[in-house]
Amino acid sequence: MAYFDNQETRRLLKTRWPQLDRSQTDHGQGKPAPPMQKPHSGPTIELPEPSAAVGEPIALKDAIAKRASHRKFSDAALSLAELSYLLWATQGVRKTTEKASFRTVPSGGARHPFETYLFVSRVDGLEPGLYRYLPFDHGLHLERKMEGLDAQLDEALLNHHFGGAVDFVWAAIPYRCEWRYAFESLRLILLDAGHVCAHLYLACEEIGCGTCAVGAYDQEKLDALTGLDGHDEFAVYAAPVGKLPPS
Ligand SMILES: Cc1cc2nc3c(=O)[nH]c(=O)nc-3n(C[C@H](O)[C@H](O)[C@H](O)COP(=O)(O)O)c2cc1C
């Protein structure tokens, strides 16, 4: 017997595009678009140029061929330039218009419904804590310093922290998508998330790091640890990143 007997549940995986009346969405009704980046107050930590991180170039086909999930990391820290590169590769802005941003990853309707949070354990120049990437400034916002970060994160990630130097947590702000695509948003958001993490895998290969996609975490604990309300913004995907141990 299939686990999902309930057709309603499986229906979430299917599109109902023909039933979407675009004139009835908030976008169609002329309501203003939500901000493309969550506001913040306080100083912005500038990030180095992303290209500063890349040493010996690796061919894309080699990065694709080598890509694998890594669950063991060395104790080494990432440099700020390396973190900058990973953030640019996963959410970096390459063009903006009045209504949309175009980034290094695709997104349905260019809605880009994610905020990127970073639990930093070992990044040169950053105190351990929770940070948020500001893609339009290519900078970081310190949400809060943290003590005992590793244990709390490992609990929220159901032992999937793996001693990462920095853990990415992608949080969805569903309304960014719902504003234009209403009930179609659920699928689009999760499809978008896959692209983001795929870029992280390949970018890690380029700079001698490793990562592992994490879909199994404690939703309430991770949302609480990340300071998310769990309704208008909540975690949808995570990935620890670290330097690879010598092989
Ligand atoms: C959507 C998704 C969710 C995943 N969640 C987890 C997870 O929670 N824990 C884990 O150890 N690996 C997780 N992985 C990694 C997969 O287990 C891994 O990709 C798979 O075993 C294939 O190995 P490879 O990535 O080395 O090719 C996830 C991968 C994806 C794409």
CA of 211 to the centre of ligand 1 (A): 10
Strand residue runs (E) in 58-161: 93-96, 101-103, 114-120, 129-134, 139-145
- The DSSP result for 201-220, as a single string, is HHHHHHTTEEE--B----HH
Average pLDDT over residues 13-42: 95
CA of 168 to the centre of ligand 1 (A): 15
Give per-residue pLDDT as tens, 224-236: 999 999 999 999 9
* 15 Cβ closer than 6 Å to some ligand 1 atom: no
Residue 1 pLDDT > 70: no
Average pLDDT over residues 41-69: 91
pLDDT value at position 5? 64
* 213 Cβ closer than 6 Å to some ligand 1 atom: yes
Write down the pTM of the prediction: 0.97
The rounded distance, in Å, linking the Cα atoms of 21 and 53 is 46
Give per-residue pLDDT as tens, 181-210: 999 999 999 999 999 999 999 999 999 999
pLDDT value at position 132? 98
pLDDT value at position 12? 85
The answer to which of 54-58, 107-111, 148-152, 175-179 has the lowest mean pLDDT is 54-58
Residue 4 pLDDT > 70: no
* 200 Cβ closer than 6 Å to some ligand 1 atom: no
Element (H, E) at 71: none
The rounded distance, in Å, linking the Cα atoms of 181 and 26 is 9
pLDDT-derived band of residue 11, with 50, 70 and 90 as boundaries?
A: confident
- Among 124, 144, 192, residue whose Cα is nearest residue 42: 144
The full 3-state SS of 4-45, as one line of letters, equals: CCCHHHHHCCCCCHHHCCHHHCCCCCCCCCCCCCCCCCCCCE
Beta carbons within 10 angstroms of residue 39's beta carbon? 6
Give per-residue pLDDT as tens, 81-125: 999 999 999 999 999 998 899 999 999 999 999 999 999 999 999
* 159 Cβ closer than 6 Å to some ligand 1 atom: no
* 214 Cβ closer than 6 Å to some ligand 1 atom: yes
- Where are the domains positioned within the chain? 19-243
pLDDT value at position 66? 96
pLDDT-derived band of residue 247, with 50, 70 and 90 as boundaries?
A: confident
Mutate to test the pocket of ligand 1, among 161, 197, 212 (most ligand atoms within 8 A of CB): 212
Confirm or reject CATH 3.40.109.10 for domain 19-243, answering yes or no: yes
* 216 Cβ closer than 6 Å to some ligand 1 atom: yes
Strand partners, 131: 118, 142
Which protein residue's CA is at the shortest distance from atom 14 of ligand 1?
213
Residue 55 pLDDT > 90: no
Mutate to test the pocket of ligand 1, among 66, 69, 154 (most ligand atoms within 8 A of CB): 69
